[in-house]
Amino acid sequence: MKSWSLRHIGLLCLAGICLPLCGCAGSNTPSLTPVPSPINLMLPQSLRIHPFTALRDLEDANGVRGLDVRIEALDAYGDTTRAYGDFRFELYTFRNVSTDPKDVKIAAWDVPMLEAKANLSHWNNITRAYEFKLQWTQPAKPGQKFVLVATFSSPFNQRIFAEYVVVAGQ
């Protein structure tokens, strides 16, 4: 058995320090823009999909059906906050009797909200939540379940997720 010399150990330590710094470690996560403390505590840390989220006729779409999504971004204190970044919504069929209820992905929507005007267009001051009207014209039987997954990514913090079971007709 070959013994490790101090030189070998030193080279391994140097590689462990240098590879992540030069981006050669194989990580494909984007680098985050640093946000100073304590402002970083006001960035979104988690998402909550509001129970008013449902499949329904969209008010502004002349009888077009879709998902009316209400979502809250929560900061480090659990208070609602603004979320500057990109939202992605994915809708899955529901899988019964499973630890992971997501089955087949049937729809996806991307909503960029890094710009202030786009962000404001989805914000509701009364509920302190974002509102999204996502068109989806597929038929759904009353009582049919779906899984909605919301993902928020931003250059300022880690990617965060939320999941919610939507029941058609409720």
pLDDT of residue 29: 53
User: How far separated are the first and last CA of the chain, in Å rounded?
Assistant: 68
The pLDDT mean for the chain works out to 84
Cα dihedral across residues 67, 70, 74, 78: positive or negative: negative
Structure letter (DSSP) for residue 130: E
Label residue 30 by pLDDT band (50, 70, 90).
low
Per-residue pLDDT for 96 more than 60? yes
Whether the predicted pLDDT of 146 surpasses 80:
yes
Asked whether residue 22 is assigned to any structural domain, the reply reads: no
Mean local confidence (pLDDT), 58-80 = 86
Among 165, 156, 163, CA closest to 31: 156
Strands (E), the chain: 46-49, 54-57, 65-74, 80-81, 86-94, 102-112, 123-124, 129-135, 145-153, 160-167
> Would you state the pLDDT for residue 24?
45
Arithmetic mean of pLDDT, 61-79: 88
**Domain range enclosing 61:** 43-167
Question: Rounded to whole angstroms, what are the CA distances from 86 to 72, 89, 100, 150?
Answer: 14, 10, 25, 10
**Would residue 28 count as lying in a domain?**
no
| Mean pLDDT, residues 8-20 | 42
The CATH number of the domain where 77 resides is what?
Answer: 2.60.40.1940
Distance (Å, whole) CA 77 – CA 160: 16
Is there a domain that residue 16 lies in?
no
* Total domains in the fold of the chain: 1
Question: Residue 97 has what pLDDT?
Answer: 87
pLDDT at residue 71, as a whole number: 97
- The answer to whether residue 33 is domain-embedded is no
113 pLDDT above the threshold of 80: yes
The closest alpha carbon to 130, from 90, 74, 169, belongs to 74
Return the pLDDT at 84.
96
Q: Is the pLDDT of residue 13 over 60?
A: no
Report the percentage of the chain scoring pLDDT > 70: 79
